[in-house]
Structures are given as C-alpha cells and as structure tokens.
Amino acid sequence: MADDLYTRYQHAHSAWRTHRETCPACQANQPCAAGQPIHDRFVRLQDAYIARQQNRR
C-alpha cells in the first residue's frame, strides 16, 4: 500500500521545485505571493513526514 503522506510530500516538493525554477524571487529565497503557499505546504508535509519517521524508531 502506498504511503499517502510520503506521496503528498513528494508532490509538494515537485510543485515547489517546478515553481522555483521559473521564479526569480523564490530563487533568491524570498518566496513570491504565488510561491509562498506552495513552499509552506512543502515544509508542513516534510516536517510531518520526518516527525513520523522519527516516531517509528
């Protein structure tokens, strides 16, 4: 069975990477209005995934 959290985390990472490749503001680590929510979602899912992995140990 696929890990839904991991899948969502990877999709969010892909969305952030795709946006950042074409956005000068986001490339300068100052997310634009469109990029900020994409980045926030990626960070939230990454944190949740890492926390869950640490709790499994």
Residue range 15-50, pLDDT digits in tens: 999 999 999 999 999 989 999 999 999 999 999 999
pTM, two decimal places: 0.85
Residue range 1-12, pLDDT digits in tens: 358 999 999 999
Spell out the SS3 assignment of the chain.
Answer: CCCHHHHHHHHHHHHHHHHHHHCHHHHCCCCCCCHHHHHHHHHHHHHHHHHHHHHCC
